[in-house]
Amino acid sequence: MTLPAPLTGVVPPVCTPLTPDGEVDVPSLRALVDHLVSGGVDGLFVLGSTSEVAFLTDRQRLLVTDTVVAHVAGRLPVLAGAIDMTTPRVLEHVAAVTAAGADAVVVTAPFYTRTHPAEIARHYRLIAAHSPVPVIAYDIPVAVHTKLPAGLVLELAADGVLAGLKDSSGDLAGFREVVGGARPLAGFSALTGSELLVDAALALGADGAVPGLANVDPHGYVRLDRLFRSGDLEGARAEQERLCALFGMVTAGDPARMGAGSAALGAFKAALHLRGVIACPATAAPQIPLSAEETEQVGKHLAAAGLV
């Protein structure tokens, strides 16, 4: 299907359920898609950071995209990450996911290599020139260690290179600059990647949200979005605060024992397992799994949010 322009509402970055031995759990992935669709979401984003894209082999990435595109069957737009270090490698992922039917590709700045704004611009221009579908910039400094400058995003948007931005930078002031600057550009999608500031992002003009926690509680994020759009800002804020509390699950994993990524993805998958959506909470190597006690804490967050 054609990507809506702009894309609005809630577009979860879809977790990738794994079997205990690290393979893609296709039935669980389909069940997760059903869970999200029935939650009322407006699109799906596969192969993002929350999808453990950094851990999936090319074969697994293809299986994920194939599975989700086939299962969604055109009911919702499917965005796919094309996440790799530099242009030539990203172009291969773009070819793979678009052949599999992705409706848009989501691409970060170059990483591993030291980069420069002129190189980032060249990167996106080359990718857009070779992509059969719209290109959405993915601003995620915690992963790629470069911040996409707002001015650069707007320049590329004005030139038709970028169709949107997924902002996972945490810098809401910079995001606001993009939102304001892109207002004259019909169809540009400004999406926040924050779990915690969706109401604030919508209030300043964001088109939608891509919150990892929406895997766990899609209904909550959809409710938040609908409350906001109906003008019930207090209701949206209350829903956001309920989701902020739920997000506290990412602190269950002991930071002395694991990184913040292991803790966050481990919590989301534990919650999906506890909610009965996926068969196994395993995360990919070399992430450290949550302990039984830590999983129990995740369960308490679910209970407190009314989800068990």
Residues of the shown chain interacting with a second copy in the complex, contacts defined by CB under 8 A: 22, 49, 54-58, 60, 83, 85-89, 92, 110-116, 118-120, 122-123, 126, 142-145, 170-173, 176-177, 180, 194, 196-197, 199-200, 203-204, 233, 237, 241, 244, 256-262, 284-288
State which residue, 40 or 117, has the beta carbon closest to a second copy.
117
How many angstroms separate the CA atoms of 61 and 84, rounded?
Answer: 12
Closest approach of a second copy to the CB of residue 124, in Å: 9
**Helices and strands, number each (H, E), in the chain:** 12, 8
DSSP-assigned beta bridge partners for residue 105? 80, 135
User: Helix, strand or coil for residue 71?
Assistant: helix
Task: Cite the beta strand spans of the chain per DSSP E.
Answer: 9-10, 44-46, 78-81, 104-108, 135-139, 164-167, 189-192, 208-209
Closest approach of a second copy to the CB of residue 189, in Å: 20
How many angstroms separate the CA atoms of 194 and 94, rounded?
Answer: 25
And the tokens for 216?
Answer: 């766990």
State which residue, 259 or 276, has the beta carbon closest to a second copy.
259
Closest approach of a second copy to the CB of residue 230, in Å: 14
And the tokens for 287?
Answer: 């992430």
How many angstroms separate the CA atoms of 271 and 83, rounded?
Answer: 26
Closest approach of a second copy to the CB of residue 45, in Å: 17
State which residue, 5 or 143, has the beta carbon closest to a second copy.
143
- What single DSSP character describes residue 250? G
Closest approach of a second copy to the CB of residue 55, in Å: 5
DSSP-assigned beta bridge partners for residue 167? 139, 192
- What single DSSP character describes residue 291? P
State which residue, 7 or 120, has the beta carbon closest to a second copy.
120
- What single DSSP character describes residue 106? E
State which residue, 73 or 292, has the beta carbon closest to a second copy.
292
State which residue, 145 or 300, has the beta carbon closest to a second copy.
145
The upper half-sphere exposure of residue 229, i.e. CA atoms within 13 Å in the direction of its Cβ, equals: 12
Closest approach of a second copy to the CB of residue 76, in Å: 27
Closest approach of a second copy to the CB of residue 2, in Å: 28
Closest approach of a second copy to the CB of residue 214, in Å: 16
State which residue, 44 or 150, has the beta carbon closest to a second copy.
150
Contact 308, 274 (CB under 8 A): yes
- Phi, psi at residue 2, to the nearest 5°? -85, 140
State which residue, 115 or 131, has the beta carbon closest to a second copy.
115
